[in-house]
Amino acid sequence: MCGIVGYIGHREAYPIIISGLKRLEYRGYDSAGIALYDGNDLKVAKTKGKVSDLIEKSSKEITKTGSIGIGHTRWATHGAPNDVNSHPHASNSGDLVIVHNGIIENYEGLKKELMARGYTFKSDTDTEVLINLIEDVKKKENVKLGKAVQIALNQVIGAYAIVVFDKNKPNEFVIARLGSPLAVGIGKDEFFIASDASPFLEYTKNAIYLEDEEMAIVRPGKEIKVRKIKDDSLVVPYVQELQMNLEEIEKGGYEHFMLKEIHEQPRAIRDTYRGRLLSNEGIIKMAGVEDNMKTFLNANRIIIIACGTSWHAGLVAEYIFEEFTRIPVEVEYASEFRYRNPVIYENDVVIAISQSGETADTLAAIKLAKSKGAFVFGVCNVVGSSIARETHAGAYTHAGPEIGVASTKAFTTQITVLTLMALRLARAKGTMSSSVFRSYLYELELIPQKIEELLKVDEHVKNIAKQYLLSTNCLYLGRGYNFPVALEGALKLKEISYIHAEGYPAAEMKHGPIALIDDRMPVIVIAPSKGHYEKVVSNIQEIKSRKGKIIAIVTEGDTAVKEIADHVIEIPDTEEALSPLLATIPLQLISYYIAVMRNCNVDQPRNLAKSVTVE
Ligand code: M6R
Q: Is 444 exposed, middle or buried (0-12, 13-18, 19+ CB in 10 A)?
A: buried
User: Which CATH superfamily does the domain covering 251-432 fall into?
Assistant: Glucose-6-phosphate isomerase like protein; domain 1 (3.40.50.10490)
The 8-class DSSP code of residue 432 comes to: S
What whole-number percentage of the chain has pLDDT above 70?
Answer: 100
Q: Per residue in 521-537, pLDDT tens?
A: 999 999 999 988 888 88
Distance of CA 406 to the CA centre of its chain: 9
The CATH architecture annotation of domain 455-601 reads 3-Layer(aba) Sandwich (3.40)
**Which atom of ligand 1 has the smallest separation from the CA of 356?**
1
* Domain 3-248 top-level CATH class: alpha beta
Least confident range from 29-33, 49-53, 83-87, 609-613: namely 609-613
- The contacts of residue 102 (CB under 8 Å, 6+ apart) are 1, 2, 158, 159, 160, 161, 162, 178, 179, 180, 613, 614
Pocket of ligand 1 contains residue 334 by CB under 6 Å: no
**Which atom of ligand 1 has the smallest separation from the CA of 610?**
14
Q: Which residue has its alpha carbon closest to ligand 1 atom 12?
A: 308
Catalytically active residues are 2, 610
How many whole angstroms from 199 Cα to the centroid of ligand 1?
22
Give me the sign of the Cα torsion angle 146, 149, 151, 153: negative
In the chain, domain spans: 3-248, 251-432, 455-601
Spatial separation of the C-alpha atoms in residues 589 and 489, rounded to whole Å = 10
Q: Per residue in 300-320, pLDDT tens?
A: 999 999 999 999 999 999 999
Task: Please answer whether residues 334 and 307 qualify as being in contact, where contact means their C-beta atoms are separated by less than 8 angstroms.
Answer: yes
**Where does 233-356 show beta strands of DSSP type E?**
234-235, 240-241, 277-278, 283-284, 301-306, 329-333, 348-354
How many whole angstroms from 484 Cα to the centroid of ligand 1?
15
Distance of CA 514 to the CA centre of its chain: 34
- Phi/psi for 499 (5° steps) reads -90, 135
Residue 154 has pLDDT above 80, yes or no: yes
Predicted TM-score (pTM) of this structure: 0.82
User: Does 455-601 match 251-432 at the fold level?
Assistant: yes
Q: Per residue in 411-427, pLDDT tens?
A: 999 999 999 999 999 99
